[in-house]
Structure 1
Amino acid sequence: MNSNLSNTVVITLLETSDVHGHIYPTDYREPGDKLLGLAKLSNIIREERIKDPALLLFDNGDLLQGTPFMYHYAKYDRTGMHPAAKLLNVLTYDAAVLGNHEFNYGLELLNKHIEDAECPYLSANIVTQSNGCPAFGQPYRVFTMQEGIRVALLGVTTHYIPNWEDPANILGLEFEDAFASAQEWITHIRETEHPDAVVVCYHGGFERDPVTGETTEPLTGENQGYEMCMHLEGMDVLLTGHQHRLLAGDLNGVTYAQPGSAGQAIAKVELIFERDAEGRWVICGKKALLLHANEVEADQEVLELFDEAERNTQAWLDQPIGRAEGALSITDPFAARQKDHAFTEFINRVQMEVTGAPISCAAIFTNEARGFSEHITMIDIVSNYIYPNTLKVLLLTGRNIRDALEQNALYFSIDENLRSLQVSESYLHPKPQHFNYDMWEGIEYELDITRPEGARVTKLQFNGAPMAPDATFEVVMNSYRAGGGGNFWMLMDKPVIREIPTDMTEILADYIMKQKVIYATCDHNWKVVF
């Protein structure tokens, strides 16, 4: 915070979001420092505090999950202060907001983290079912700044979480509509607190392009940033996240920002205040920009704080667990999504064996997934299966399965100039969603991308015979997909026959350790044609 003129004050806001446990500048997949991580952002924060010692620093959620470091702590350690809380405390955050991935390891660990953190967690729209009160502390906080300027910060989280999360991890919680809750609380804040600025920190993104207004994703309510900027009354700044986009700009008089993911950038918003004729502080200027990690050195003090825990994580990752025979490596993820591949067949076969389901579906989550080479270690497991999913067996009809395959077929489009297959733009923007394309085992099918959307499944058989639309089948899939995640509406609210509460990474590791040697098999039960 600084004053350029006697009647002008500049207040600085910094926002991190979707750090996903990245402290060190590494992605844990290959050696070498990457341009990411909170240790790098720490030095940016230090530099910004030299310019403005009284700046406000916020985290916008999805901090607790996403790296082997955080997974190892959650599953095998849990001693001492939660490392994410230690980060918030050391970097002296002023407030934080819950993201959807904060719930992945259960409420016990989440509550421990919140208790360990010295900054308040703001959660207006996540309430306790029994009394409707905010479940995680306070909904907002008002900061009194230089010259008595009052900045209110309201925290809200995408209410779509129940569509993805294991019900046991959100037991007793209700997720109110983020937009409606934000408007209710902004009105309350304006009427009772009389702040000079209202900032909404929203773990959610934009459902429309903030520049053109064009729809960028299905309007499910998962992301409401555009609607918030256009219709929320009384909001000056919207800090966003969830989509992993790099955004900074203004929309309908609201300044907005979103700083990507994994600590690749930090958002900076400056609010310029001046006194009006009655002596009250009013905003006369706003601007948002992104400060990128790039070539910034990592903060050695931050790295040293977690040195022992990182060594323990690395030792765990290097632990050999088995051996692979045959072609289980992924050299081209796009090609592996066009026809049956030994790696996805292995994942599906494990899911089928563990649950007893005759049909399974699974995804290659990212384009960085490399499958298994001959010698398999824990790092191979966690770098291929990056989400803490469990397994569910649903009872589906043949019609449900066909609809799910039609949804899968939307992953592809045809480049008319090159007459080649490509990933549909909707699966690349606003963020890559390779995890929303599944490959199936236990059925025989074919997807013809030259046909109209909704009519691309040209072959669908079970045990060599056409799959009857009204016949029922047990199908195993990850818990995210079983909740309809990824716009798989046809899977929502279907009967759950069995659940395996164990994390899929543990299931895979245990399976390989028990088998000692796994063999590549591929029955070529499906393909994509164009």
Structure 2
Amino acid sequence: MNTIQPVTAQLRLLGTTDLHVSLIGYDYYRNVETVDIGLSRTATLIHQARKEVNNHLLFDNGDILQGNPLGDYAASSRFWQQDSYTEDQANVHPMYQLMNRLSYDAATVGNHEFNYGLDYLQQCIAGANFPYTNANIYQASIEGTHSPTAIIEGTADTWLPPYLILERQIVDDHGDIHNIRIGVIGVVPPQIMQWDKAHLEGKVTVQPMLEAIEYWIPQMREAGADLIIMLAHTGYVDSEDTGVLSENAVLPISQMKGIDAIFFGHAHKLFPGNEFAGKQGVNLKRGTINGIPAVEAGVWGSHLGIIDLNLQYDNHSWTVQSGSSQLRAIYQREQGLASVEADTELEQIASVPHQIILDHIQTPVGESDIPLYSYFSLIMDSAYVQVINNAQIWYAEQVLADSSYRHLPILSAASAFKTGGRYGPQYYADIEAGEMTLQHTSDIYNYANTLCAVRLTGAEIREWLEWSSGLYQQMDLQSTAEQALINPDFPSFNFDVIDGITYQINVCQPPRYHPAGYILDEQARRIERLCYQGKEIEDDSEYIVVTNQYRAYSTPFANPDGERVILDVPVENREVLIQYIRQQQVIHPAADHNWSLTLGISEQERLSLPSQPTITILSSPDAQKILSAYPQLSYSGINGEGFAVYRFTL
């Protein structure tokens, strides 16, 4: 008796995420060509992956419009007033010029898409030859916002289509052709309402990601979706790691019914990858989270995410029988070699905007009489961070001079943004003394943040610093083993240096806060000798702290009750830096050493230790050239990821 064989097919899903305007292999901060970033190289992996299978789709998971000087300049009208643009290029953002050639099937928005405002974003999306979806951003009503009930019940209007149903044909394993309906849904962290409040307030409102997904997935099934692909612009954290600062929801998303594959991002990590070993719900061998194939493809086009699904047709619909994911890299870091050549057609398309931005970033703004490095800015005060704080205080003093806050001391909080980490051993600032250009100011402040100031008490500033000091792992004075100082799970851009006060950070004490913002140890205190003008700061004393809108509106340590912002100006922090340098003409941003790390012991106690603690940090191999200025540091070799290991004596 003949048995009817089931109809089966393979479907390959390809995905990019967090491209951040990385068109080609070029680092606009260092002004050098590179082979480890760029969509023009990812494109070669896309072509290869498509050739290997009959059925494939390509998606993007957001954050494509911001991330380097090209993205910032493209948001200005001056960028488009170029004679070198052809008529068909004049109204299409450079990212979409490349993505259109690659024939993406669908995309969703990331949080950084909103950095330049809704009007600009809508203009950009209009240039895409593929559809966009987002399920948790809603149009604001005439009254200001839709009520939560209207959103939950689905009577509010979404800002983009909440989902897509892609009508495609698929070739089965026997060569026959069938129709298939592929549902695509996207979400973004609700924190965009704080991060880009000035652009979004009163125009849109955002629903929690899980609520939106829970509502719309049944709607997608009713609309005939055979499969549902999740484009989640959010990262992964273990459930016990969630906290007041968490914008990462992939784990609970993977536990929701009805999702067949997940593309995620936002955190710029690599999944499947060793960083996720042992994490809840993770199967690295298959590349799944709670059984759902999932992939996170790094940043700047460094990797292509691939999800392969095995499908079966039954009862007039397709279902997923199994699936797995993988990453393919454009660059082999351990070997220091490119995996693929760049797509020459995309390189040619990118050549016009590339030349425009090269000409632009060479515009001089002033001079610095000392070099600015970020190599060791996570472990000691540096001129690299000092110049940001100097500029922010300078600007705020002018703006607040005639205000009711003029009697309060003005402090400034800033971070060292370029400090390696998951971005690699070349991701550091290295600016020689002499002429400073727009390129250099972007190298110092590479986010499109705008300036804010908050009013805080001394006690609240102490808590802010306690959270910030979670960057460091606790050192054990009795250990004879090497101890890595930096906590790899703490984003370095959350490590704020607050200038205008002095303090020490005791790294032998346990951290008070988890990186996500919740308390780990009520009794723990790392911040010591917190003083203003030589006197210990009193808990109820008041200060103005200049910062950026990201920190002011999304970090409860900078804005405990949501009512502390006293200054919110539509001027980028980087523009403040540019104005400061131009006004000074020649800057002298020597570190004032207002903060330092300590082991919290006396010299006598140190001498009584069985051995001196061996503390290590990672930085660029290039940092060896400045070691002579830092006798407390010594070079110890190169690790497997290309970082230099330095021993640090405290």
Same fold (TM over 0.5): yes
Is the counterpart of residue 254 in structure 1 residue 323 in structure 2? no
1:158 to 185, 189, 194: 189
Is the counterpart of residue 114 in structure 1 residue 116 in structure 2? no
The aligned counterpart of 1:345 is 386
The aligned counterpart of 1:233 is 257
Is the counterpart of residue 242 in structure 1 residue 301 in structure 2? no
Is the counterpart of residue 445 in structure 1 residue 503 in structure 2? yes
Q: Is the 8 A contact 1:127 1:134 kept in 2?
A: yes
Q: Is the 8 A contact 1:140 1:152 kept in 2?
A: yes
Q: SS of the residue aligned with 1:461?
A: strand
Bigger radius of gyration, 1 or 2? Answer: 2
Percent of aligned pairs with the same amino acid: 28
User: Comparing 351-360 with 386-395, which one deviates more in the overlay?
Assistant: 351-360
Q: SS of the residue aligned with 1:426?
A: coil
The aligned counterpart of 1:330 is 373
1:123 to 131, 134, 144: 134
The aligned counterpart of 1:204 is 234
Q: Is the 8 A contact 1:84 1:113 kept in 2?
A: no
Q: SS of the residue aligned with 1:338?
A: coil
Map of 1:287-302 to 2, 5 A cutoff? Answer: 287-294=324-331, 295-302=339-346
Distance 1:525 1:91, change over 3 A: same
How much does 1:296 deviate? 1.0
Q: SS of the residue aligned with 1:145?
A: strand
CA distance in 2, matches of 1:310, 1:299: 15
Q: Is the 8 A contact 2:187 2:209 kept in 1?
A: yes
Q: Is the 8 A contact 1:324 1:518 kept in 2?
A: yes
CA distance in 2, matches of 1:110, 1:371: 32
Distance 1:389 1:424, change over 3 A: same
| Deviation sequence 1:413-435 (CA, Å, 0-9, x none) | 244344756112421xxxxx110
Is the counterpart of residue 424 in structure 1 residue 487 in structure 2? yes
Map of 1:358-377 to 2, 5 A cutoff? Answer: 358-367=410-419, 368-370=427-429, 372-375=431-434, 376-377=436-437
Distance 1:445 1:199, change over 3 A: same
How much does 1:221 deviate? 4.7
In the alignment, structure 1 segments of 5+ residues that lack a partner are 209-213, 428-432
Q: Is the 8 A contact 1:207 1:218 kept in 2?
A: no
| Deviation sequence 1:141-176 (CA, Å, 0-9, x none) | 333332112221111112222232233245411110
| Deviation sequence 1:90-136 (CA, Å, 0-9, x none) | 21111110100000111121010111112111011111121521112
CA distance in 2, matches of 1:252, 1:434: 29
The amino acid of 2:14's aligned partner reads L
User: Comparing 53-62 with 295-304, which one deviates more in the overlay?
Assistant: 53-62
CA distance in 1, matches of 2:201, 2:26: 31
Distance 1:250 1:520, change over 3 A: closer
CA distance in 2, matches of 1:463, 1:27: 41
The amino acid of 2:251's aligned partner reads Y
CA distance in 2, matches of 1:184, 1:18: 26
CA distance in 1, matches of 2:466, 2:553: 18
Q: Is the 8 A contact 2:6 2:312 kept in 1?
A: no
User: Normalization by structure 1: what TM-score?
Assistant: 0.90
In the alignment, structure 2 segments of 5+ residues that lack a partner are 82-89, 147-155, 171-177, 273-286, 332-338, 398-408, 420-426, 513-524, 600-650
Distance 1:492 1:83, change over 3 A: farther
Is the counterpart of residue 103 in structure 1 residue 104 in structure 2? no
Q: SS of the residue aligned with 1:18?
A: coil
The amino acid of 1:394's aligned partner reads V
Q: SS of the residue aligned with 2:571?
A: coil
The aligned counterpart of 2:549 is 479
The amino acid of 1:370's aligned partner reads A
Q: Is the 8 A contact 1:16 1:263 kept in 2?
A: yes
How much does 1:24 deviate? 0.7
CA distance in 2, matches of 1:129, 1:331: 42
Is the counterpart of residue 180 in structure 1 residue 211 in structure 2? yes
Q: SS of the residue aligned with 2:26?
A: coil
The amino acid of 1:22's aligned partner reads S
2:179 to 148, 155, 161: 148
How much does 1:444 deviate? 1.7
Q: SS of the residue aligned with 2:576?
A: helix
Q: Is the 8 A contact 1:512 1:518 kept in 2?
A: yes
Is the counterpart of residue 434 in structure 1 residue 492 in structure 2? yes
Distance 1:55 1:178, change over 3 A: same
CA distance in 1, matches of 2:262, 2:321: 17
The aligned counterpart of 2:321 is 284
**Count of aligned pairs:** 509
Q: SS of the residue aligned with 1:322?
A: strand
CA distance in 2, matches of 1:143, 1:271: 17
The aligned counterpart of 2:39 is 38
Q: Is the 8 A contact 2:501 2:531 kept in 1?
A: yes
How much does 1:215 deviate? 4.0
Distance 1:512 1:117, change over 3 A: same
Distance 1:272 1:170, change over 3 A: farther
CA distance in 2, matches of 1:60, 1:436: 24
Q: Is the 8 A contact 1:352 1:358 kept in 2?
A: yes
Q: SS of the residue aligned with 2:485?
A: strand
User: Normalization by structure 2: what TM-score?
Assistant: 0.74
The amino acid of 1:251's aligned partner reads I
The amino acid of 1:196's aligned partner reads D
RMSD, aligned CA: 2.2
Q: SS of the residue aligned with 1:46?
A: helix
The amino acid of 1:89's aligned partner reads N
Distance 1:409 1:87, change over 3 A: same
Distance 1:304 1:465, change over 3 A: same
Q: SS of the residue aligned with 1:184?
A: helix
Distance 1:32 1:371, change over 3 A: closer
CA distance in 1, matches of 2:212, 2:586: 53
CA distance in 1, matches of 2:319, 2:412: 58
Distance 1:168 1:57, change over 3 A: same
1:412 to 440, 461, 472: 472
The aligned counterpart of 2:424 is none
